[in-house]
Chain A
């Protein structure tokens, strides 16, 4: 690993990560997108697929953000940003919205992560620091109730610590809930045996990913 490779930061950028994740959202899916990079996934759904977006504050059929003069402060997404409603959208109250989540009706949820363990445990709501104000929102409901949980995250923290780890040191959002992880370096599945490489980002080699992963990475050709 050279210093040059570090500064060039090979792999996918944020947009490309979102684009890659969007490829794995099938036609007809009901999808909930978390705040941050996951929000971008909606821009990249391949042509010909119809996907319905759920926002947990009470809208199915969320559309793009409108121009400032067309916004309604009472038409917002879970990140409290103004959005629109597509033709065919529906509004509902919070208990109905979370029945969609907790009752297993939402097909896919895409979330960010602080850490993911090889057992599929997710930590994405708290560092556990005593002076931080705990805030959980709907994250625990989503991971407990949505059928498939995708994670989009940088492979490592800003200080270079792996986010894919043997076991999470941060407080958990849910246990054994993550199916697939899209990072800047690779696509990785969580299977019974641990993390399994699905795909490397262009220009990234396996050794580079292994060095930045906090535990074993299973590769098909390993036999």
Chain B
């Protein structure tokens, strides 16, 4: 029998190791798997490379993971956010590495990684400082740069509903990086708002097919980053 259900967020992240590359879903707080991130803080794995569009806000979730000195390198498109001081402080002190990637290139690198495509060409960033040092090539008279597919040891993803096969549906714009990160990681760990029986999700509306998912843990009432930040909360 296939059952990807895991009993707790702690169990779900228990094998994330020092030096791992971890993709974390979410665009701002939408889709941020905050309970899984907090479990990763409890676990304490260090020297991580984290892939996320942003760098978190306040002192909870991704920002707290960074603040806890567990992240050696961020791969992201927009490391500045309102209420974000953790990453900027570490960056200015030279205590964290940043690989800045245009947002669409970041998404496509993740998709390519998950699809077995080692590299591809894109017109994005041609003629800008972000193209420097990259292999350039012309197709049909237009310039392109080569970008590499991106893979990870683990992905942490948040969804709205899941079944024990790992079939997922998301909530609105919280979908963002979830489906592609699920494809690109060796081990994809999903926190779901609800777990349903196999067959309850119409096959026509499944967004992430279960083949891309390894573990499911139910977090029925997830917290929201903005509410924790407004309340001045910190983690741990």
User: Which residues of A pack against B, CB within 8 Å?
Assistant: 55-59, 72-76, 80, 85, 91-95, 97-98, 101-102, 121, 126, 128, 131, 133-141, 144-145, 171-175
| Chain A residues with CB under 8 A of B102 | 136-141
B165 near A: Cβ within 8 Å? no
| Complex partner residue of A94 from B100, B129, B177, CB under 8 angstroms | B177
- Inter-subunit contact A137/B77 (CB<8 Å): yes
CB distance from A91 to the nearest CB of B (A): 6
Inter-chain contact A145/B123, CB cutoff 8 Å:
yes
**Closest chain B CB from A170 CB (angstroms):** 10
Task: Point out the residue from A74, A80, A144 that lies within 8 Å of B171, measured CB to CB.
Answer: A74
Asked if A95 meets B31 with Cβ closer than 8 Å, knowing A58-B175, A136-B102, A144-B126, the reply is no
Q: Which residues of B contact A (CB under 8 A)?
A: 27-31, 53, 77-82, 87-88, 91-92, 98, 100-108, 110-111, 122-130, 170-180, 207, 224-227
Judging by beta carbons under 8 Å apart, are B128 and A172 in contact?
Answer: yes
A94 touches B78 (CB 8 A): no
When C-beta atoms are compared, the residue in chain B nearest to A56 turns out to be: B103
Query: Can you name the residue of chain A whose Cβ is closest to the Cβ of B208?
Result: A93
B108 and A102 form a contact (CB under 8 A): yes
Residues from chain B with a CB closer than 8 A to the CB of A140 are 102, 104-105, 124-125, 128, 130
The answer to whether A102 and B124 have CB atoms under 8 Å apart is yes
B103 to A136, Cβ gap below 8 A? yes
Closest to B112 in A: A95
Tell me whether B130 and A93 are in contact (CB under 8 A). no
CB pair B27 A137 closer than 8 Å: no
Q: Contacts A95-B108, A131-B92, A174-B127 known; A136 to B173 CB distance under 8 Å?
A: no
A residues in contact with B82, CB < 8 Å? 80
Q: A197 CA to B181 CA in the complex, in Å?
A: 47
Of A73, A93, A135, the contact of B207 (CB 8 Å cutoff) = A93
Which of A74, A121, A135, A145 contacts B104, CB < 8 Å?
Answer: A145
